[in-house]
């Protein structure tokens, strides 16, 4: 039985899908104005794990993720500039070029850490019609008002506003910085834009469409309501996002969707905590971020290449998704060496035969306990160290890896192939060891290392790894 923490009820609950055996899941995707960083990857790996745990429980998952390519202002509370337009200006490219470049970059990064692509990836700019339709419905239901700058959602007309974060409407503060765009005609600070007009501050906005209210572009939140309901229906099972989305973006999505349909929008809200760097959330806007290249390209002591992207995935599996994680190269080094050890072990295993229920069940139980993957990983290591036949270990491990996504299959039973000249040195070293000439054996080990292979003795002989 899968249990998940539901932000909406603030409780760990048994997961039950709306339709038997099927799960509709929506993920807020990236705003494609800058590089995907490894903090984003933690969050999308978290979604990937959730999806795979659902599958391990027999659910068929229909997963939808959006791409925000318009309407997300520098402040989530509708003040400032459009992030896309700002990014385009800074990079001297068109908004469309910026969107395409960073969307491609996003998928390059997610592919490298084995994140499975959503079944449907939908761009806000390609769903303007659905967003306009939804705004019209909200207008018909008396939930909107218009200022010279925008069409707003009137939060005071939606009594349930604040249910997700537990905030009261009266407690919402107005964003009053004077250096950025703030619409003074907004009636309540919690009200949010559904449609911005391309006038005043936004008169030069490149992305613009006609609408019943005038030319403009959609606010950020409406895209997620419109597209999730288009692909998953008016009510669906799971919506995910980072914890930063709870108070504004997701609250607004609920208001828009439930304000339009009168039905419950989402049953389970799953939120992931952050990856921090130097005690702060790793973030694009603060420019304190590391990209995948920064870790893959990192030069390491002894001429070693940088880290494997999957070491990052392994690192993320060691923390619970509802706890923040501090990034450090020390912890990544630890993850890399754990992953190397795991790969080395399984190279010696036989091809898969039987899944061992005792280990698999305990692994799944941990995963089902609000995605306690660190505990599941501990069960994996118990399996590795156990005395059961290696063919059964292989089968069980592969089942576990359907959730973990470490790409372990390609290592099972694959002894490292070494060139002839290296093999000769290895044999010579074995002979030296047998005749207890440890000085020579050590010199040969160093020579082997120079040729790009690391040799390590163990109880059953030696292990060899390509550096
Ligand atoms: P953005 O493109 O900034 O809208 O972010 C996309 C997703 O990544 C959101 O769900 C954010 O909550 C999440 N995110 C951004 N920064 C981090 C971080 N440092 N750690 C974990 N998740 C993050
Ligand atoms: Zn969203």
List, edge to edge, every strand of the sheet that includes 150-153: 144-146, 150-153, 192-197, 216-218
For ligand 1, atom 5, name the residue with the nearest CA.
Answer: 30
pLDDT the model gives residue 177: 42
From atom 15 of ligand 1, which residue's Cα is the shortest distance away?
A: 40
Give, for ligand 1, the residue of 244, 276, 292 to mutate: max count of ligand atoms closer than 8 Å to Cβ: 244
State if residue 43 touches ligand 1 by the CB under 6 angstroms criterion. Answer: yes
State the Cα angle at 112 between 109 and 118, rounded to 5°.
Answer: 70
| Cβ of 245 below 6 Å from ligand 1 | yes
Burial class (CB in 10 A: 0-12, 13-18, 19+), 251: buried
Furthest-apart CA pair in the chain: how many Å?
90
Ligand 1: atom nearest CA of 30 is 2
Element housing 51 (H / E): helix 38-56
**Whose C-alpha lies nearest to ligand 1, atom 21?**
274
Three-class SS state of 222 = helix
Smallest CA separation from ligand 1 atom 17, residue: 39
Q: Whose CA is nearest to atom 11 of ligand 1?
A: 242
Q: Which CATH superfamily is domain 3-272 in?
A: HUPs (3.40.50.620)
Ligand 1 near 30 CB (within 6 A): yes
pLDDT value, residue 297: 82
pLDDT at 125: 96
Q: What pLDDT was estimated at residue 84?
A: 85
What is the pLDDT, as a whole number, of residue 278? 83
The pLDDT of residue 208 is 94
What average pLDDT values come out for the chain (467 residues) when binned by 10 residues? 97 98 98 94 98 98 96 74 85 90 97 98 97 98 96 95 88 52 84 94 90 96 98 98 96 98 98 93 84 85 77 98 96 95 93 97 98 98 96 98 98 89 92 91 92 78 78
Pairing, β 60-67 against β 236-242? unpaired
The pLDDT, as a whole number, for residue 323 is: 98
| Residue nearest atom 12 of ligand 1, based on CA coordinates | 242
Asked if domains 3-272 and 308-411 share a fold, the reply is no
SS3 of 169, please?
Answer: helix
User: What would the DSSP string read from start to end of 207-218?
Assistant: S-B--TT-SEEE
Runs of H (alpha helix) within 244-356:
251-261, 292-296, 309-317, 329-347
Ligand 1 binding pocket includes 28 (Cβ within 6 Å): yes
Architecture of domain 308-411: Up-down Bundle (1.20)
Q: Which ligand is nearest to the CA of 265?
A: 2
Q: Are strands 150-153 and 192-197 parallel, antiparallel or unpaired?
A: antiparallel
Nearest atom of ligand 1 to the alpha carbon of 281: 19
> Domain segments of the chain: what residues?
3-272, 308-411, 420-466
What's the gap in Å between 221 CA and the centre of ligand 2?
6
Prediction pTM value: 0.91
* 240 CA from centroid of ligand 2 (Å): 9
Query: Distance (Å, rounded) from C-alpha 7 to C-alpha 230?
Result: 23
User: Encoding tokens for residue 446?
Assistant: 């160093």
Distance, in Å, from the CA atom of 215 to the CA atom of 99, rounded to the nearest integer, reads 21
Closest ligand to 220 CA?
A: 2
Instruction: Give the pLDDT score at 176.
Output: 43
Q: Is 39 in the pocket of ligand 1 (CB under 6 A)?
A: yes
């Amino acid at each position: 039985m899968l249990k998940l923490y539901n932000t909406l009820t603030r409780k760990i609950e048994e997961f039950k899908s709306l339709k038997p055996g099927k799960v509709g899941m929506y993920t807020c995707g990236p705003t494609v104005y800058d590089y995907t960083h490894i903090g984003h990857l933690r969050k999308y790996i978290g979604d990937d794990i959730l999806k795979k745990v659902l599958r391990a429980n027999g659910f068929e998952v229909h997963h939808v993720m959006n791409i925000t390519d318009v309407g997300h202002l520098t402040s989530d509370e509708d003040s400032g500039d459009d992030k896309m337009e700002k990014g385009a200006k800074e990079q001297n490219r068109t908004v469309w070029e910026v969107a395409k470049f960073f969307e491609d970059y996003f998928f390059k990064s997610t592919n490298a850490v084995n994140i499975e692509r959503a079944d449907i990836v939908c761009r806000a700019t390609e769903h303007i019609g659905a967003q306009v339709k939804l705004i019209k419905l909200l207008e018909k239901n008396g939930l909107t008002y218009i200022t010279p700058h925008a069409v707003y959602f009137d939060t005071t007309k939606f009594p349930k506003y604040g249910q997700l974060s537990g905030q009261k409407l009266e407690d919402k503060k107005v964003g009053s910085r004077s250096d950025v765009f703030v619409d003074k005609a907004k009636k309540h600070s919690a009200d949010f834009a559904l449609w911005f007009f391309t006038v005043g501050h936004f008169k030069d906005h490149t992305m613009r469409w006609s609408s019943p209210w005038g030319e403009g572009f959609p606010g950020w939140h409406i895209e997620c309501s419109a597209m999730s309901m288009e692909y998953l229906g008016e009510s669906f099972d799971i919506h995910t996002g980072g914890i930063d989305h709870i108070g504004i973006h997701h609250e607004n999505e609920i208001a828009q969707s439930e304000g339009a349909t009168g039905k419950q929008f989402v049953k389970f809200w799953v939120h992931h905590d952050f990856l921090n760097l130097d005690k702060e959330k790793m973030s694009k806007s603060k420019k304190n971020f590391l990209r995948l290249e920064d870790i893959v390209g990192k030069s390491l002591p002894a001429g070693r290449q940088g880290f494997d992207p999957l070491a990052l995935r392994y690192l993320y599996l060691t923390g619970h998704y509802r706890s923040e994680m501090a990034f450090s190269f020390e912890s990544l080094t630890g993850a890399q060496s754990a992953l190397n050890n795991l790969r080395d072990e399984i190279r010696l295993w036989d091809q898969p035969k039987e899944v061992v229920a005792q280990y698999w069940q305990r692994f799944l139980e941990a995963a089902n306990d609000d995605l306690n993957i660190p505990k599941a990983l501990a069960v994996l290591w118990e399996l590795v160290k156990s005395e059961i036949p290696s063919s059964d270990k292989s089968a069980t491990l592969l089942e576990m890896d359907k959730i973990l996504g470490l790409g372990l299959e390609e290592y099972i039973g694959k002894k490292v192939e070494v060139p002839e000249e290296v093999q000769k040195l290895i044999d010579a070293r074995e002979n030296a060891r047998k005749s207890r000439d440890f000085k020579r054996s050590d010199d040969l080990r160093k020579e082997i290392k120079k040729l790009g292979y690391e040799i390590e003795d163990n109880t059953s002989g030696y292990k060899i790894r390509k550096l």
